[in-house]
Structures are given as structure tokens and as C-alpha cells.
Amino acid sequence: MQIEKWNASTRLLALIGLAGQFVWSSYAWPQTATIVTDGTQSRATQVVTIDPNLLVLSAIRQSVWGPPLACKVYQRSLAYDQQVITSGEYKASGLGTGQFRYNVRVSSGETTLDRVEVSDGRLMFTQIGLEESPRRVNLDQVRQMIGNAIHQAGDRPEINFYLAVGGQPELLRNLYHRYFWYKAVTRQINGVDVWQLVGRLRTDPPKLAGNADIDIQNSGPIPPGSNHPTEVQLTLGRSASAPYFPYMVEYFRRTKREDGQPDSIERLSVLEHTELTTTLTLMDKDFVFKIPDSVDKIDDDTQLYKPKVQLADRTLLPNR
């Protein structure tokens, strides 16, 4: 495989915000390329009136402040006419610590590379393969911009955006800003109570939004001719044991005929988490990144995640 193809694959990983990815699983989730609609309802499926955007905000908060967890990771995507498989594991300390480790192997054909994303709560490092320089985010600097407002995260959802750096939290943060969530249904799949949320690319930024560069990028327009997924379906846990846990994310692209009318919908990627456990013992050493001896530079991405201004203790940050 040519290296240019691998660059295209890694660009796809970045494009769809794969920060803490997901799984084909032993849960045997339905594999048909179907977005939930009123016509697909059954006795186990009920459309609800709650705003699904609020459910995504709740999922971001839970991913930042929830209990420690670990799960298996698997992703299958179509990238530039190549099938790309990602598999590995994810574990996080939760409780607002910002500590997590995401280890996966990405493969396409006979070519593989390893991706590591790890945070000790102060610095987050990302390493993709051996040819690319590691990337770093200084979380201390991000938290300095939040200041004492961090203690109001329960009442101010925008604060959780700035704490959602890497792993599951960032995946959910990006999904919230990139897609407008317009439908929510309750279901039970293989005995698991879930929400299934449906979203489409935003044409306008959300009313409540982060103003860090990463949020502005994700809320912005998609370039014409882009292969970016146009639709998404997010499956969140609805039980007390796994509230808002992101079991599955499915990405779709809707195509149009020459007359502009909808033609078909193609599934581009499926991501899941399985084998979830919250009964585990984690140690600080689990979240240490060892910089390879061959590394001669580290690229810094801190500015991408910093709020534009210091957050006030009590006043909501205005939307740009």
C-alpha cells in the first residue's frame, strides 16, 4: 500500500473525530444501514419529545465526570475505497481527572500502524505510527482559562466542552458541535436500554457552543465536494449502570440525484464500545506516555483547545 493511502486513512480518522473509538461487538447490534425513522418503530421503539441535543450535552458531562471505566474498541470504516479496521481498548479515570489511555491498531490490507492517545490529566499526547511526531496538549493551560468556573460545571454545560479533551469526551464534544440532533427514540437492544439519537450536519452553529478553535472548526461549513458524513446515529446508554455511555456511532453519507432529490444513504463508518466495566483499579502509571528515543520534536496543539477568554465565575460565556 502506498504511503499516500495511509495519509488518507489517517485524515479520515481525524475528520470524523475518532478520539476514543468504538466496536463491532458481541452484542450483535443490527448491521443494516438504517437511520431510525418513525416508520421503523416497533413496540420496543418510542419517539420521545426530549431535545436530543440536551442528551448529547449530558453524555459529554458524564464522560468527563462519570466513574472510571474500561472497554474494548473496534471500528470499521470505508476510507477512499479502502476498508480500514481499528481495534484496541480504552480506559479512563473519569471524575474530572482528564486521565485516559486509548490504544488501538489501525489496519488496511496488509498495512498496520498503532495509535496511542494518553493523558495523565496535565498533558495529553497523541502518537500515530512511528513516522509522525507526537502531538501534545497542555491541559493545565486549558484549565487555567476555566479557572474557578470549573466548580460550576454541573450548571454550565459549556464548561464541560473545555474539559472534554481526548478520548470519549472529545468524540462527544465534536459530535455535538458538528451535527444538529433532531430525533431521539428509546429502545432496548439485546436487553440493553438505550437512546438512539439522529443528527445531520449543522448549517448554523449551536446556540450553546464552545468558542475554542476546535469548536469553531467543527461548527463551520463543510467544503463543497467533501466526503464528510452528512448523517449520524448515536446510541447512548439509558440505564442507571451505564448512563449516556456511547455504545455506538454510525456515520452515513446521503447522496442526491442530478435533480437534487435524495437518492440513497451509504454507511461510511461504524464505531462501538463493548465489554464495558466500571469495576477496575487504575494507577497513575497507566496514563504515562513514554516519548520514543527517536523523537526530535513534539508538535503542540494546546491553542486548539483553549477558550478564547478566561471564563467568568458566574456569567455564561457568550456564543462567539
CATH number at residue 222: 2.50.20.10
Residue 311 maps to a domain: no
Residue 298 maps to a domain: yes
How many distinct structural domains can be found in the chain?
Answer: 1
d(CA 195, CA 269): 19
Which of 7-11, 77-81, 117-121, 259-263 bottoms out in mean pLDDT, i.e. has the lowest?
7-11
Residue 310 maps to a domain: no
Residue 42 maps to a domain: yes
Q: Is 216 exposed, middle or buried (0-12, 13-18, 19+ CB in 10 A)?
A: middle
Instruction: Determine the Cα angle at 296 with ends 112 and 140, to 5°.
Output: 90
d(CA 177, CA 204): 10
Query: Over the stretch 165-182, which tens digit does the pLDDT of each residue have?
Result: 999 999 999 999 999 999
Q: How many CB atoms lie within 10 A of CB 42?
A: 7
- The pLDDT of residue 16 is above 50: no
**What domain range includes position 10?**
3-305
Greater model confidence, 199 or 257: 199
pLDDT at 9: 41
Query: Over the stretch 235-277, which tens digit does the pLDDT of each residue have?
Result: 999 999 999 999 999 999 987 777 777 678 889 999 999 999 9
- The pLDDT of residue 280 is above 80: yes
Greater model confidence, 309 or 237: 237
pLDDT at 14: 41
Residue 313 maps to a domain: no
Q: How many CB atoms lie within 10 A of CB 141?
A: 15
- The pLDDT of residue 55 is above 60: yes
Give the global pTM.
0.85
User: Predicted confidence band at 33 (pLDDT cuts at 50, 70, 90)?
Assistant: very low
Residues composing the chain: 320
pLDDT at 36: 58
Beta 192-201 vs 231-237: how paired, if at all?
Answer: antiparallel
Residue 320 maps to a domain: no
Q: Are 271 and 21 in contact (CB under 8 A)?
A: yes
pLDDT at 31: 38
Residue 47 maps to a domain: yes
d(CA 36, CA 111): 35
Query: Over the stretch 214-237, which tens digit does the pLDDT of each residue have?
Result: 999 999 888 766 778 999 999 999
Q: How many CB atoms lie within 10 A of CB 93?
A: 22
Q: How many CB atoms lie within 10 A of CB 306?
A: 20
User: Predicted confidence band at 3 (pLDDT cuts at 50, 70, 90)?
Assistant: very low
Greater model confidence, 40 or 313: 313
Return all residues near 66 (Cβ < 8 A) that are at least 6 apart: 94, 95, 243, 244
d(CA 114, CA 104): 6
Q: Using CA atoms in the order 117, 216, 243, 100, what is the torsion angle rounded to 10 degrees?
A: 20
Residue 27 maps to a domain: yes
Residue 117: strand, helix, or coil: strand
